[in-house]
Amino acid sequence: MNRYTALGCLGLGLMISPLFGRFADSAVPATPRIGAIDIERTLSETPAGKRANATFDTKRKAKQGELDKKKEEFMKAEADLQKQQSVLKPEVLQQRKDELAKKYAELGQLAQKLEQNLAQEGQQMTQELLKQADPIIKEIAKTEGVQLIVDSKQVIWFDPAMDLTDKLNAKMK
């Protein structure tokens, strides 16, 4: 019986030992290094970010101009209605007020649509910059021995020594 117990323990040990070997050979070090990058700074300080911001600003101004033109047309129509209010028949006045209310609603919808478009374009601009920065970020991670890089604006706190933004910005063209 004693011999069988010893053989059983030996067999169990041989079966379990490869599992412990996997933990020792782990690719991730016991204390992984983490870095942080401020994407907003990269957008505002690098030539690539400045070009993207300039393009975005041009689009924003064009959309704002479109909205301002529609708003001006609405204000003019409202002022015209105020001037003509005393001479119009009640049913015609009500019809024009209804048309003006419809234009006001359309103006609000247009403003909301333009705002959503700008938000999407802003996200797309950031994604394009990140695509351009991706190989540089990977290179920095390798050089610095970092296993994880996060956006510094998405964390509550981090040690400023972990900030890799300057290194990224120096390599972005």
Amino acid at 170: A
**Average predicted confidence (pLDDT) for the chain:** 85
Measured between alpha carbons, how far is 165 from 167 in angstroms, rounded to an integer?
A: 5
Mean pLDDT of 46-51: 94
Q: Are 148 and 32 contacting, i.e. CB atoms less than 8 angstroms apart? A: yes
> What band does 7 get if pLDDT is binned at 50, 70 and 90?
very low
Residues 6+ apart with CB under 8 A from 155: 36
Taking only the tens place, the pLDDT of each residue in 85-141 is: 888 898 988 999 999 999 999 999 999 999 999 999 999 999 999 999 999 999 999
| Lowest mean per-residue pLDDT among 21-25, 51-55, 78-82, 146-150 | 21-25
* pTM for this prediction: 0.68
Mean pLDDT of 22-27: 52
Better-predicted residue by pLDDT, 88 or 170: 170
Helix 90-144 to helix 47-84 angle, to the nearest 10 degrees? 170
DSSP 33: -
